Structure 1
Amino acid sequence: MAKYMLIMRATDESLAKFQDVDFTEIMNAMGKFNDELIRAGVLLAAEGLDDPKEGVVVDFTGETPVVTDGPYGETKELFSGYYILDVASQQEAVEWAKRAPFMAGSKTEIRRVPTIDEFPQDNQWIQKERAWREQTGQL
């Protein structure tokens, strides 16, 4: 099994379609999808994100970091939520992503999450992280 992150990316068009959908309908559809992931035993984490107007960006392109209040960037540069799934393959992650509700006009980026075992085990920081993960029940 491997972890894959599904990064949900909205577009201006998909957001416009989403504005007219009743919140109860959204909650029911997302709840049903999340329940399917839970029953399949593949869901590790899932969160939606607040409106970009409520966020900030820390820009490191200059000599010193600059903090900018939202809204910022173009819609296509933002993501609205994510899932982390523990599945057998990238293809299985793709199949789950295809089933997500309210994604018409949007995009989902899927990326594997490397495990701590893939990093040099003789590195002191990896050793400290491994100890923390073991202590917190993550390993």
Structure 2
Amino acid sequence: MRVMILVKATADSEAGLMPSLELLQAMGQFNTDLIQAGILLSGDGLHPSARGRRVAFDGPERSVTEGPFGDTAGLLAGFWIWNVADLDEAVAWVKRCPNPMPGPSEIEIRPLFEEADFLAASTD
């Protein structure tokens, strides 16, 4: 199963503070471990929301808002896409991850839809 691993933003990541050399090395080793295990499909860090844009949809109307986007609780600082056997395996790998931020942080695990999910829905 494919999962997206969402690294939640913090005040530090939104301020554009770069990780320490120690953290970069630890994350590099973690990514190497993921690659060697055949799990890592993709992943990257994200610039702070101040460098982003949001496009809101309301019927045919579109409006664009420039960042930053306020409360960090709903923002992302990075992501991975992994191929794992199940959510338990994803949780086990996330527990091995170095803390991605200098202080408290959070990582969310979300399964990606697969073609079979849509096929099952179309036959209901």
TM range (shorter): 0.7 to 0.9
Unaligned runs of 5+ in 1: 124-139
2: CA distance, partners of 1:30 / 1:15: 15
2: CA distance, partners of 1:112 / 1:5: 6
Q: 1:95 to 1:58 in 2, by over 3 A?
A: same
1:74 aligns with 2:71: yes
Q: Deviations over 1:25-80 (max 9, x none)?
A: 23211110100000111111111111211101112358722101111131111011
Tell whether the 8 Å contact from 1:10 to 1:105 is kept in structure 2 after alignment.
no
From 37, 41, 44, the equivalent of 2:34 is: 37
Q: 1:58 to 1:10 in 2, by over 3 A?
A: same
Q: Which residue of 2 aligns with 1:113?
A: 112
What code does the residue aligned with 1:107 have?
Answer: E
Percentage of pairs with the same residue:
37
Structure showing greater Rg: 1
Structure-to-structure mapping, 1:1-139, within 5 angstroms: 2-12=1-11, 15=13, 19=17, 22=20, 24-60=21-57, 64-103=61-100, 104-120=103-119
* Count of aligned positions: 118
Q: Give the RMSD, CA atoms, in angstroms.
A: 2.5
In the superposition, the TM-score normalised over structure 1's length comes to: 0.73
- Decide which structure has greater strand share: 2
Q: Which residue of 2 aligns with 1:133?
A: none
1: CA distance, partners of 2:25 / 2:72: 25
In the superposition, the TM-score normalised over structure 2's length comes to: 0.81
Unaligned runs of 5+ in 2: none
Shift of 1:19: 4.3
